Structure 1
Amino acid sequence: MYLLLSIFAFGLLVLGHEFGHFIMARANGVTVEEFSVGMGPRIWQKQGKNTLYSLKALPIGGSVKMYGETADEAGEGSFFSKSPLRKMTIIAAGPIMNIIMALLVLFAVILFTGYSSNVISEVIPDSPAQAAGIMPGDKIIRVNGERAYTFQDVSTYIAYNGLNEVTLEMKTSEGTVIKTMTPMESEGRALVGIVPQSVENPGFFESMGESFDQARSLITQTLFSLKILFTGRASLNDFGGPVTIFKISSEVASVSLWGLASFAAFLSINLAVLNLIPFPALDGGWLLILLVELITRRKLPDKFVGIWNTIGFVILMSFMLLITFKDIFLPGGF
């Protein structure tokens, strides 16, 4: 039951992403030949007026096949015939739709369940926070110079910092102050000894504002994770593929459907940010090519674009297979 819920939630994210491409293609007069959710062999299909709608066996992706994606098909309604700017709106629409979906989900979760703010409600006695003079009512703005949009940001940056000295920028009754302290260890975690203020019944506009803060937080955390990856401070064991995603989703769903919704919002933001990386075969790779064409006003050779996307696709699929193999056969890591 919970596995089916997680598959359904993940499918919605893919559906939303591809629907973004689909509606912007249609808005720009491009004919969509196939709109598919999933990868692999088709298990269901329905032919529309111009578009084949299909569902494929593996719920790990999706695609929008547009007429005229190559120079060989440059007629009316072709993707190829559109200007670089119009093409960019079509490509960017997928990640943008994922961000919109995440905002809507986060808004609903916050409105009905509340949230933890950056305002401190309690300082633990004999803790580093108390020793540094932090008081209830103080609000954390930054941790080690990193903007903290939510209390999750505060927890993440302190945990990543470990037991090293941490600097908190606080908004207090006396103005903005800087507090420096060394975290204490408790059950294997680095803590400074603060408890966030819980907002249980936020209003409509407060929930809307907090949903934007949480979305910005998720985007920042994803970029922070990529920074750790590209600076060599992460390994393959820190990655999880579809198997791990469905396992975590099922566990979260068994606890709370609101928890599953929050996790889906997290995945949706991750999907948006990762797709915007300027890497071949990703939306960001296409946007990079189109940006070059927009600036130079010259179309890049089809052969180059084909090789660019093929290399990217092979690398991404190889990485996905490796991570899936790890998830199934080596869940403890390599």
Structure 2
Amino acid sequence: MQTAIAFIVIFGVLVFFHELGHLYFAKRAGILCREFAIGFGPKVFSFFKNETMYTIRLLPLGGYVRYAGEDPETDEIKPGTHVGLLFNQQNEVIKLVVDGFDRFQDLLFVEVDSIDLEHKLELIGVEEGKEQIQTFKINEKAFVVNEGKENQIAPYNRQFNSKSVGKRAIAIFAGPMMNFVLAFFIFILLGLLQGTPVNDAKIGQLVSSGPASQAGLKTGDVVLSINNQPVSKWDEVVDIVRKNPDQNLKFIIKRDNQDKTFTVIPKAETSKGTKYGLIGVYQPVEKNILTSVKYGVTETINWTKEIVTAVGHLVTGQFSINNLSGPVGIYQVTEQATQAGIFYLMKWAAFLSINLGIMNLLPLPALDGGRLLFFAIEALRGRPIDRQKEGIVHFIGFALLMLLMIIVTWNDIKRLFM
């Protein structure tokens, strides 16, 4: 149960920040965002605020921001339709009621002659009981009430495709970008909570049953020399210890401004036929904001390089698709990280966040990178690719991604029984 909660929370947070990037920069560009969704499938919870419906859906496997204009607008009001109009103090229409008139008061009923909800924002029609045609100005944030639902109109200048290539590209790129930002802040928080490694010749946290602890060394001791060889860096301490398994090592350390001598015998361990020594001491750490920020930068960059390299190996065939993991494999690693402790779980979340950002930037249909590729083509040719053709390409890409998801999930299941 604990693993399931951790899995859902981690994915929820990663998806939330990814979609938040899309939402924030789309709104900054003036795009009407109809829905901000976490998950897919039926709604579990929803509320409406600042033009956007925020929803949590049943299947926690992703999310999306639904922009006005990406799908055909469904609130078509045909000539001859009788509608009820509700006005604001500036005499602009703020509600166009197609049915359910009894829910509203002070409606002005009009038979529609023509209506433009995208450009002119006006309704031309005849008021009930009169014969003269009138023109009614429609507020750009007006709602159409139809079949019990209220849907805000989307003037063309609020639609996604009305914006410049640059603004659309920023809104799409912002999703993966936020995953890198999230990982960066997770690493900073880790640095503040558990400290960041430093290369000082100091004794860090001790393993209670380790050779160093049994010999009398304490956390914070400054190592001056080992077997009369002066040391000033942690790397030098590690190098000497690893090269001397089962050997007596004379540590001269400084503690409380006094030099003390201890004899430590490194425990022998073997890896790939090579014997090396361990004394049960962790690298020293320090906790401050500057080193934590530096740690956040370096860890984010290093993990980004690792994942990009792995993707490159996959493309060139050096890495088999059979080695990929899907939701089942990720769940298993989440279980291991949960058992190891909160710090390991935070590192795993940061890794997944970077991974999500990189995967979404791949120039594949249905991914953010695929959309950015279409924007680049549009910028080069000076006009957009036919929306219907682009939609078909993204649909095919989505179908192939789902097929890949099925394959890697099947591989995960097979590995469970191997």
> Same fold by TM (over 0.5)?
yes
CA distance in 2, matches of 1:330, 1:207: 38
Which 5+ residue runs of structure 1 have no aligned equivalent?
Answer: 128-184
TM-score w.r.t. length of structure 1:
0.75
CA distance in 1, matches of 2:293, 2:275: 30
Whether the aligned pair in 1 keeps the contact of 2:184 and 2:300 (CA below 8 Å) is yes
Tell me the equivalent position of 1:219. 304
Question: Given the alignment of the two structures, is residue 100 of structure 1 paired with residue 181 of structure 2, yes or no?
Answer: yes
Query: Highest relative contact order (Cα 8 Å, sep 6+), 1 or 2?
Result: 1
CA distance in 2, matches of 1:113, 1:3: 25
Tell me the equivalent position of 2:22. 21
Whether the aligned pair in 2 keeps the contact of 1:117 and 1:197 (CA below 8 Å) is no
Provide closer, same or farther for how the CA distance between residues 286 and 205 of structure 1 changes in structure 2, counting only shifts above 3 A. same
Provide closer, same or farther for how the CA distance between residues 48 and 194 of structure 1 changes in structure 2, counting only shifts above 3 A. same
Q: What is the Cα deviation at residue 307 of structure 1?
A: 1.7
CA-based RMSD of the aligned residues comes to 2.8
Greater per-residue helix proportion: 1
Tell me the equivalent position of 2:238. 122
Provide closer, same or farther for how the CA distance between residues 23 and 225 of structure 1 changes in structure 2, counting only shifts above 3 A. same
Provide closer, same or farther for how the CA distance between residues 331 and 26 of structure 1 changes in structure 2, counting only shifts above 3 A. same
Describe how 1:131-280 pairs up with structure 2 within 5 A: 186-188=270-272, 198-280=283-365
CA distance in 1, matches of 2:364, 2:28: 26
Q: What is the Cα deviation at residue 39 of structure 1?
A: 2.0
Which 5+ residue runs of structure 2 have no aligned equivalent?
Answer: 74-153, 200-233, 244-268
Provide closer, same or farther for how the CA distance between residues 227 and 79 of structure 1 changes in structure 2, counting only shifts above 3 A. same
SS at match of 2:59: strand
Tell me the equivalent position of 2:53. 52
SS at match of 1:225: helix
Aligned-partner residue type, residue 37 of structure 1: I
SS at match of 1:198: coil
SS at match of 2:304: helix
Aligned-partner residue type, residue 274 of structure 1: M
Q: What is the Cα deviation at residue 332 of structure 1?
A: 5.2
CA distance in 1, matches of 2:41, 2:381: 37
Q: What is the Cα deviation at residue 199 of structure 1?
A: 3.9
Provide closer, same or farther for how the CA distance between residues 29 and 210 of structure 1 changes in structure 2, counting only shifts above 3 A. same
CA distance in 2, matches of 1:212, 1:122: 25
TM-score w.r.t. length of structure 2:
0.61
Whether the aligned pair in 1 keeps the contact of 2:197 and 2:283 (CA below 8 Å) is yes
CA distance in 2, matches of 1:189, 1:42: 57
SS at match of 1:298: coil
Provide closer, same or farther for how the CA distance between residues 62 and 189 of structure 1 changes in structure 2, counting only shifts above 3 A. farther
Greater per-residue strand proportion: 2
Q: What is the Cα deviation at residue 201 of structure 1?
A: 1.3
Describe how 1:82-101 pairs up with structure 2 within 5 A: 82-101=163-182
Q: What is the Cα deviation at residue 234 of structure 1?
A: 1.9
Q: Identity of paired residues, percent?
A: 31
Provide closer, same or farther for how the CA distance between residues 197 and 256 of structure 1 changes in structure 2, counting only shifts above 3 A. closer
CA distance in 1, matches of 2:274, 2:18: 37
Tell me the equivalent position of 1:11. 12
